[in-house]
Amino acid sequence: MQAPLTPSHGISLETWLTIFAILFSPLVALLVQKRLDDRRAREDRKVQIFHALMTNRASRLNPAFVQALNGIEVEFYHEKSVIDAWRALNEHLYSQAAPEDTSMTHWTNRQTDLLNDLLARMGKTLGYDFGAATLKRSTYYPVGWGTVENEQHELRRAAV
């Protein structure tokens, strides 16, 4: 009867390493692929948030815009500059503007500046090079949309 094969019974280290590689390389490949897929999914979520904010930045009451703002803190958690800009914008959004026209205009202009800073920082972390000045000039919002929004707001107010 033969004794079981062990490293001391004629199987070389190279053979053992080959057997180990054959058995465990599929597992390692799956783990690496899962990690890559998770990283890609995280980046995709960041890009989706950035895209929603960019495409709706002129229409800030749009639900997609609001949802994207609310997703920043989670998806950009490790991006300190983005989180700092988001917190500054968030604090401003919760501040109250005085009812006078000049104060409201100032509040809205400050909101735009903070949003553009946030978008510039987010873009930089995602590989886009948008300056705050470019972001401010490159927004299109038809006057008619503003008129419709104002009329709908007045109708709702009158109904209440």
Encode pLDDT of 87-138 as tens digits: 999 999 998 766 666 678 888 889 999 999 999 999 999 999 887 777 877 7
Number of independent structural domains in the chain? 1
- Residue 152 exposed, middle or buried by CB count within 10 Å (0-12, 13-18, 19+): exposed
Would residue 148 count as lying in a domain? yes
The pLDDT, as a whole number, for residue 2 is 56
* Residues in Cβ contact with 79 at an 8 Å cutoff, skipping those fewer than 6 apart: 121, 122, 125
Would residue 131 count as lying in a domain? yes
Would residue 110 count as lying in a domain? yes
How far from each other are the two terminal CA atoms of the chain, in whole angstroms? 96
Helix runs in 7-131, H state only: 13-55, 63-75, 80-94, 101-126
Determine the structural domain holding residue 85 and report its residue range: 41-159
Would residue 50 count as lying in a domain? yes
Would residue 103 count as lying in a domain? yes
Q: Is 70 exceeded by the pLDDT of residue 24?
A: yes
Would residue 64 count as lying in a domain? yes
Would residue 77 count as lying in a domain? yes
pLDDT band at 142 (very low <50, low <70, confident <90, very high): confident
